[in-house]
Structure 1
């Protein structure tokens, strides 16, 4: 499964980067290809390419604020959670993404 996402917290410092790291580690551990863009106080880092977004099976938005460029993900299956969920339960979050995709494929 290919996962892309965005992490952005209200302050744009700690939780943004912790959420990114935890989601990427959990995704890789589960055997998925994952790339997480961060939108913090110093701007956008690890910006997702249009190809990465196009090829993604699912998008995870771990955000407490409005995401810049959200329209890039139009038409994609999106899971929206607070950054706290990505920080505290990254493995459960990846499992949820897997379940959402299974449900989509079953339809």
Structure 2
């Protein structure tokens, strides 16, 4: 399974990076490939490329503020989650994504 994620929070600091860290850890624990782009106060870091998108099974987007360049994920399975849920409920989010991918 290959997961992409873009995290962004209103202040663009702590929660942006805490959610990215949680998603990476939980995906790696499952043996999944993962790449997380952060859109924080210092701009976009670890930018997701067109090649990344092409091979992705699903995309996690935080919904607390607009995600820049969201159109690049058109046609992909997208899970929109709150920034706090990305930190506290990561396993539940990944379980739901796995179920949705399996149904495709």
TM-score by length of 1: 0.94
Q: Counterparts in 2 of 1:5-16, with a 5 A limit?
A: 5-16=5-16
How do 1:49-60 residues align onto structure 2 when only pairs under 5 Å count? 49-60=49-60
Unaligned stretches of 5+ residues in structure 2: none
Two-structure CA RMSD over aligned residues (Å): 0.8
Q: Provide the residue aligned with 1:101 in structure 2.
A: 101
Following superposition, the deviation at residue 100 of structure 1 comes to 1.1
**What SS class does the counterpart of residue 26 from structure 1 fall into?**
helix
Q: TM-score, normalised by structure 2?
A: 0.96
8 Å CA contact 1:4, 1:60 repeated in 2: yes
Choose 57-66 or 16-25, whichever is displaced more: 57-66
Alpha-carbon distance between aligned partners in 1 of 2:9 and 2:70, rounded to the nearest angstrom? 15
Q: How many pairs were matched up? A: 104
Deviation at 1:94, TM superposition (A): 1.2
* Worse overlay, 91-100 or 22-31: 91-100
CA deviation digits over 1:29-62, x for unaligned, max 9? 0110010100011100010111011100100112
Q: Which runs of 4+ in 1 moved over 3 A?
A: none
